[in-house]
Amino acid sequence: MSKIAIDMMGTDLGIKPIINALKVFMKKYDDVTFILIGAEKELKATTAAAKLDNTKYEIFATTEVIAMTEGMMEVRRKPNSSMVRGTELLRDQKVDALVSGGSTAAFLAACHFIVGEISGVLRPAFMPFIPTVNKGKSVLMLDVGANLENDAQDLINFAIMASVYAQEIMHNPKPSVAILNIGEEASKGKDYHKEAYKLLENNKNIFFKGNIEPRDITSDFVDIIVTDGFTGNIALKTLEGMAKNLMGVIKYELTKNFYRKLKAFSLRKAFRGIRETFDYRNNAAALVLGLRAIAVKTHGSSDEKSWISTLELTRTAVVNDFVQKMTVKLLKGN
């Protein structure tokens, strides 16, 4: 039986969406239990009201909260916060994974100082799953916000870690890798892009396909895209915003008059399929790759649907013993 800890505090929408997601998730899976970390009184009241299966969770009471707007220093200032206690449980192997929707800066600091990285990994990375035009197929992109700056060696490590995930978890024996850049030519980009290009090109364990431009992220041209965290975060949020706004435009155009509404009714299943394909809530979370244990970061604004996909991702990593497999590969030099 796997055990997942959830930092229940510090999100934008509170604990109710998490509880609702857990109720759905618990009905689907019998191989996972949870430790819900946070304010005891609030958690007891909300779980009781939701009639959450009390055989599948326990409450770990804490008295402090790291707010969404607070940074890494709060990890030291608030030792009894849900986030810090969660990372301690992860470090001590009391749980198999930790999930948080709280402050990104604080979560990364807690993971770094308390859990630590795998030997040889200098910088962890956020790796989300980006939907593509090929329904059901996602591209792995990293880093998308764990770091503001990265060098060429970081991109190599990102490519190796993501390749291990694709091979071991997604059963893709030869995952293709590309560098996010302003052009496809090897001469494009900053110096570290060019250096990373040469290093990946000469790495026999990486199936390198060159550079990829932002417009092709969702085109299903490659399996893995590596980039620095600042650029990756902007790209990710641009894609999420574009998908959301595009569906809004489509809905507006289809409901402008009665004739269009009539036509749209006959195509409702098709439009529902488009919306579902590019709904970022289906891929709301990111694995924190490079740590000694499984940590998952989801959006602070995650709703019930987002939390369900977050729990799905976490369970997949846990049941496949992903960190152990990646550690072995990294120590062997992939």
Mean pLDDT of 56-76: 94
Half-sphere exposure of 35 (CA within 13 A, CB side): 23
Mean pLDDT of 151-171: 93
- Examine residue 151 and say whether the peptide bond preceding it is cis (omega within 30 degrees of 0): no
**Does the pLDDT value for residue 213 go beyond 90?**
yes
Q: What is the set of domains in the chain, with CATH numbers? A: 1-121+290-334 (3.40.718.10)
Q: What is the pLDDT of residues 93-127, one digit of tens each?
A: 999 999 999 999 999 999 999 999 998 888 999 99
Mean pLDDT of 141-165: 93
Amino acid at 31: D
Q: Provide the pLDDT for residue 195.
A: 96
Mean pLDDT of 162-175: 94
Q: Provide the pLDDT for residue 333.
A: 60
Residue 160 · residue 331 · CB < 8 Å: no
Residue 298 · residue 101 · CB < 8 Å: yes
193 confidence band (pLDDT: 50, 70, 90): very high
334 confidence band (pLDDT: 50, 70, 90): low
Q: What is the pLDDT of residues 43-56, one digit of tens each?
A: 999 999 999 999 99
Q: Rounded to the nearest 5°, which phi and psi values hold at 25?
A: -65, -40
Q: Rounded to the nearest 5°, which phi and psi values hold at 282?
A: -75, -15
| pTM, to two decimals | 0.89
**Does the pLDDT value for residue 250 go beyond 80?**
no
